Chain A
Amino acid sequence: MIQNIIVAVVILLAVCYAIYKIVQSFKKKKDCSSGCVGCTGCELSKRNM
């Protein structure tokens, strides 16, 4: 019985983590590491094309 409870908790945590990672990977990064903060490079490139 105790084994079943532990396994249920572990699976639940794994599901939560998987959902979190999927959502996180598709969320647009807004922190500075994305390199796009204040950069107008994309607009510039379109203009240069």
Chain B
Amino acid sequence: MNILVLLKMVPDVVEELEVAGDGKSLDTSFLRTIINERDDHALEQAILLKERHGGKVTVVALDAPDIDDTLFAAMAKGADRAVKITDAPEGMTTQMAAKLCGQVIAGLLPADLILTGVQALDDLDGLSAALVAQQLNFPYIGVVTAVTANGPTATVIKEFAGGVRGEFAVTLPAVLGVQAAEKPPRYVPVAKVRAVMKTNKIETVAAPGEAGAAQIEVRQLAKPVVSSHAEMLEGSPEEAAGKLVELLAQRGLL
């Protein structure tokens, strides 16, 4: 089967994030980017499917610092082809990025599945995959934790709150927002990545058309303010429960 995987880079939170002088964006002077964790799972799920059913995996990503390392690592893990989208406008919203990526993906079709992470730590709105699906007019299922391909359809496990799981049949081609692959993302030895860097090439595609205007504006970016402290309720469980009820009543919550 033919699988496209959409990857993106997000800030690596190993370094403490700082707000830039403009008060609206992240200070990028010490910022490193890393593959979005859910996208790494989407890639793993794609490689698992390729190992099971054969076919090809193509990874697609917007240009970003360190993106080449990520794309070479993806090929070392088992992706056959890597496409980098260059010259995209800076500071795009999720909607703009999805519109751009959707157009590039349309040019890479046909594909049976388009996988990407269900969300990313820099927006958490979980919109990318759904927006790409809408643009391509493909069905979409999000929060996916397992995929089984059965010819023209796929059986997909979707996770709900409270440990509930749903099993869906979806007609291919489809877009899936991956929450977790069936196995944790695999390790790829450094020597293998270095070998792939020598033998494989990353294809580039210039960002097509218009990404459209941003429909939201960031007015302020700030660190959370430490405003209060936790109050420990002392005493036996009954006494503590009594005090808790009293407190909730005082605050008008009961």
- Asked if chains A and B come from one complex, the reply is no
Contacts from B to A (Cβ < 8 Å): none
Contacts from A to B (Cβ < 8 Å): none
